[in-house]
Amino acid sequence: MKGGHKFIHECSEACSHKMESLQQISKPFRKTEISSFVSRYIELDHHADDFVLSAMHDLFSGIQYFVKYAKKNSTCTTLYCPITKSSHISFIGYCPHCSSLESHDVWLPNKNERNAIKKNKPQSDEIGTICSEISLELLMLILKEEIEMFNITDRVHDVDAIIKYNHMISLWEIKSSPMFLPSFEIDNLTESTKHIIGDANWSEGSMKMRVPGTKSTAEISFSHESSDLQLESFQLRCIKAMEKDNFQFAKDFVQQWIRNYSEFISGSHSNLKFLRAGGSAKTDDSKNQPGINRTDDLKKASYQLLKYTGHYKALCSKGNIYGGIITNLGPIASRDPYFKGIYDLKIVQGHENSYLCDAILSLDSPVAHLYNPDLRCIMDR
Ligand SMILES: [Zn+2]
Ligand SMILES: [Zn+2]
């Protein structure tokens, strides 16, 4: 075991042993160029500060969705748009150019068409990995520099990430999924006056990234590299493209993200809902809500928290083990009766008691769900 890769926890034998076994399946979390891009962006755009991390989570999730998909498939189901004369590779069922807030412009396909163009997402385990890693990286921007973060390498394990700070070890369940994703497009000079669903090969021609529902695009130099397309090099090219024009594309993305978010929390059913990655149903009746806003995830996460309490916290004679949820988008309380009265519960074992959930660390409201005040010390704000 390398130095700096340890979290020695001197405690009761059972607790030390448990932590040692966790250590064996963990590795230090490695940052990528995403966090430095986001730091540079934040310096420029203070205005969007509260939402910038959640928006950036979605922006980079979209980029990585595309690469995961492109690695496995040489063609992709696309939507040809007669206005842009390009084929759109999208994660929503609507034309990312023609669907806008102004209703007269919206192109609404029927249900069958919509199902046919919604197949570009990677598999759900890959989506889980993508969103978890991006969430951790962005979360580090709001945590103290001295914290140490670890990933669990064993995919079936019940802990997704570990944050260590002084004597505190916190165990985290990550529940991240995007709300609003960028789309990609390839020039296509088809002579059609209608929107057409068909296949496109992305190794030919240049490519653009688009903020859905707007005219904002960024040119990506993409040509003829799809066979050995690597995530990092593609991501770097996207970053370079986004840094042109004083980050204009990223600013447009964040702005549209915020508009979409406002509609999401208000429960409104305007046309913006068509641009959302997961539709627009209420918390209780959809499997596609962003962040920690779907019932399935709430139920799974609640059980994990119980397990952290029973299997980890209960063994710790020093009370130094904590547990919570990490997410890109926190619970939207007004729409979520599931949360009230549950997560600030205290569980009593013998004479000791502990919070069921010490915190929900969400990128949009990092200190809003700190149930256990002890954890405040890991935050950098
Ligand atoms: Zn269109
Ligand atoms: Zn302990």
- Residue 114 sits in the same domain as residue 218: yes
Q: Is residue 4 part of a domain?
A: no
Measured in whole angstroms, how far is the alpha carbon of residue 144 from the centre of its chain?
A: 21
CA of 224 to the centre of ligand 1 (A): 26
Residue 163's domain comprises 13-31+146-178+291-378
**pTM (2 d.p.):** 0.91
Per-residue pLDDT of the chain (381 residues; tens, 9 = 90+): 444 445 678 899 999 999 999 988 999 999 999 999 999 999 987 766 789 999 999 999 999 988 887 777 777 788 888 989 998 888 887 888 887 655 555 555 666 776 666 667 788 888 889 999 999 999 999 999 999 999 998 777 889 999 999 999 999 999 999 999 999 998 887 888 888 888 877 765 688 999 998 999 999 876 545 545 567 788 999 999 999 999 999 999 999 999 888 888 887 767 777 777 765 444 445 567 788 887 778 888 889 999 999 899 999 999 999 999 999 998 875 555 666 777 777 887 766 788 889 999 999 988 888 889 999 999 987
Distances (CA, A) of 201 to 77, 88, 123, 227, 369: 9, 11, 20, 12, 45
Chosen domain end from 227, 261, 282: 282
Chosen domain end from 232, 262, 282: 282
Closest CA to 367 of 321, 324, 337, 336: 324
Chosen domain end from 252, 282, 312: 282
CA of 242 to the centre of ligand 1 (A): 23
* Cα 93 from Cα 89, distance rounded (Å): 10
* Cα 273 from Cα 265, distance rounded (Å): 11
Order across the sheet with 321-327: list the strands. Answer: 26-28, 148-152, 161-165, 168-174, 321-327, 359-362
Ligand nearest to the CA of 80: 1
CA of 30 to the centre of ligand 2 (A): 26
The number of folded domains in the chain is: 2
Q: Could you tell me if 7 and 19 are in contact, meaning their C-beta atoms sit under 8 angstroms apart?
A: yes
- Residue 119 sits in the same domain as residue 209: yes
Radius of gyration of the chain measured on its C-alpha atoms: 22
- Residue 188 sits in the same domain as residue 303: no
CA of 65 to the centre of ligand 1 (A): 22
